[in-house]
A and B are shown apart, each in its own frame.
Chain A
């Protein structure tokens, strides 16, 4: 065989090996992606189909975009979106800020740090239903620990019977439940910061706040963005805990979009409109994700 043919044959083999090597990781991931496609993508596409239908006399009939039109004409839906913004926004800010503070405190090692970690984690291991029930009982008018303690100050006003205070309770319950998760992520990020960097900052005369703001916080930014993304999505989709605490009440006082979707589907049986809401929320979550991914990419490129 001439040298050029051998070279050509060698380069063809190398090119094929390279392609196979490049595809190999995707092959490993493929089974998981296929399963996810079956249990997530197919139901999502079915929801999209369902959002264009309506049930009448036991028959599913196509109605085009009418369900979306009904949704956009519904004051209940827009009010639920407003409540979602209030709930998710408050939940996000409190969870991130308090999670960060908690992580900073836990990062100061002490003999009791393992005990504190366990205490912080207890809410995280409880289910939404159990957590919500605990909070509902704590504010029960007759025997709730917190309600009864506050009765003299509140002139016996029921906290769960007022829209504003009921919303505060569900936000507090949600933050309490998720704090451990965000604190843990922040704690992990804090522990990857090299000690020498902080020492160098101290040697340069930076005080504690300056050290945190100029050194620690910038290095935690990627983790912060991930936490914000996950917490935002969780806030928008939160359902179990709100239902367990207030059932979306009083009236519709804590009925967020997710709760309204649940009611429309499972209480009223209007699956077409509920599916339309699900599509809407999916788009909102997707936009948020793309936005955050772009911010992360910009951060990485800086």
Chain B
């Protein structure tokens, strides 16, 4: 081969390598999710003596969570820091936490297992991902372990159902359940929070005349589909998915829910910032420019400082909401129902899972067993912003507060499980993107867009 051709070949190879490095170099990891309002809170009380768990000679383990024990910013982080310390003291088991961004922990766990790399011994997971993890073989079947565990008789069966896969096997151990509800300023709704969307629209016109937004909520990204959108779709009688894990939202009921959402933006009852990425949607409620906020039972952890409509500032970390409630300024209510219908709140949970490939399964089980004690389960629930999963944990006096009683009532009256969609994250992202598209272009037909989105998500299963 002559020199000119060889030069050309090498030149092409080098250029190819440069292009590939340009391609590869752009694939950076996503930035960590913007941190929520930091609040110094008290750590939940260190546990007192439950029956001491056995301390077999189990090695140190690695645990993935979305909490930062090394630099605590809020009650969730403080809970983990205290728990890891007491775990070591009580059982001798050392667990090293690796913080993962809250919106990436499930995807990263999936990736770690699929790539065959180092996986943690035990990981936090969101219960909505059971279907996805089942499909990808991400986590171990824990059925035998759970059913023979000493705490099995005390666990709430509805909570356990969140961790049950399409094949009926148990793939995680639930740790707390969360539900979604409305926070509102009592002075903005002097007759109480409206029960349904029609009654709400009466109030919205009044509030708009007063120069306020009636409601603020997460309007984009997968998270949006989990909060207000789920409540409305279910409230109007629609569903996200069917029993086979397929998406099934293209129904007249869902269309009505989306029409209501469209009205909120078209009439200026909700701020446009709700469509932006991140958690900026909370700010209008925190500064009282919005009368209500659609959020979750955990939101009180991040709603601080908050300023009531009369200018009173509540700035006491995770206790700010409780203080505002005691002052009569803030209250919570069930989600909005459809006219003549019943409210619905999605019930999901935090859970512990043992990833496929975990090297210390016994130690991982010991870690989970340590959590499944009435006091510790209550600690996690309060620290996180959810309800415990052990029936005995509900007797903890902390759940007798006004706030928690409202959360428990909401769960009992309006709880509705998530639909077991196989490609859950993709489906929720697609639904939220479709709703945003429909909000931004009022000329689009809702059913047509919902059907197209449904078909696309189902085709990728």
Contact = CB atoms under 8 A, between A and B. Distances in A.
Interface of A: 22, 26, 29, 33, 36-37, 40-41, 43-44, 55-59, 70, 73-76, 128-129, 132-133, 136, 140-142, 157-158, 160-163, 230, 233-234, 237-240, 243-244, 246-253, 258, 262-263, 266-271, 273, 278, 281-282, 285-286, 289, 293
A276 B442 CA distance: 34
Interface stretch (B150-158, B291-299, B385-393, B428-436): B428-436
21 contacts: A41-B17, A55-B136, A58-B136, A73-B459, A74-B456, A75-B456, A136-B277, A142-B280, A142-B283, A161-B273, A246-B276, A246-B277, A249-B220, A251-B220, A251-B433, A251-B437, A252-B437, A266-B107, A266-B111, A267-B425, A285-B23
B21 A269 contact: no
A43 B3 CA distance: 30
B350 interface: no
B221 to A, nearest CB: 7
B20 A128 contact: no
B10 A40 contact: no
Name the 8 nearest CB pairs between A and B, nearest first: A58-B137, A251-B436, A237-B26, A247-B277, A36-B17, A40-B20, A141-B273, A161-B272
Majority SS of interface residues in chain A? helix
Nearest to A157: B272
Contact of B17 (A33, A249, A250, A253): A33
B13 interface: yes
B263 interface: no
Given A142-B287, A160-B277, A243 B17 contact: no
A238 B26 contact: yes
Contacts of A140: 280
Nearest to A288: B19
Given A76-B456, A251-B432, A278 B23 contact: yes
A40 B432 CA distance: 36
Given A70-B459, A233-B19, A273-B460, A162 B277 contact: no
Nearest to B110: A269
Contacts of B23: 233, 237, 278, 281-282, 285
Nearest to B114: A55
Contacts of A243: 30-31
A17 to B, nearest CB: 15
Contact of B135 (A56, A163, A281, A289): A56
**Which one of A128, A237, A250 has the greatest number of beta carbons of chain B within 10 Å?**
A250
Interface residues of B, number: 64
User: Does more than half of chain B's interface fall in helix, strand or loop, or is it mixed?
Assistant: helix
A233 B13 CA distance: 17
B22 A234 contact: yes
Contacts of B30: 243, 247, 262, 266
B29 to A, nearest CB: 8
B26 A141 contact: no
Nearest to A141: B273
Contact of A57 (B135, B283, B459): B135
B440 interface: yes
B275 interface: yes
Given A73-B459, A267-B425, A285 B22 contact: yes
Contact of B27 (A59, A250, A262, A263): A262
Contacts of A278: 23
A35 to B, nearest CB: 9
A243 B220 CA distance: 14
A261 to B, nearest CB: 8
B423 interface: yes
B114 A271 contact: yes
Nearest to A76: B456
Contacts of B10: 26, 29, 33
Given A251-B436, A269-B136, 10 more contacts: A33-B17, A40-B20, A57-B137, A75-B456, A158-B276, A237-B25, A250-B219, A263-B429, A268-B426, A269-B111
B452 interface: yes
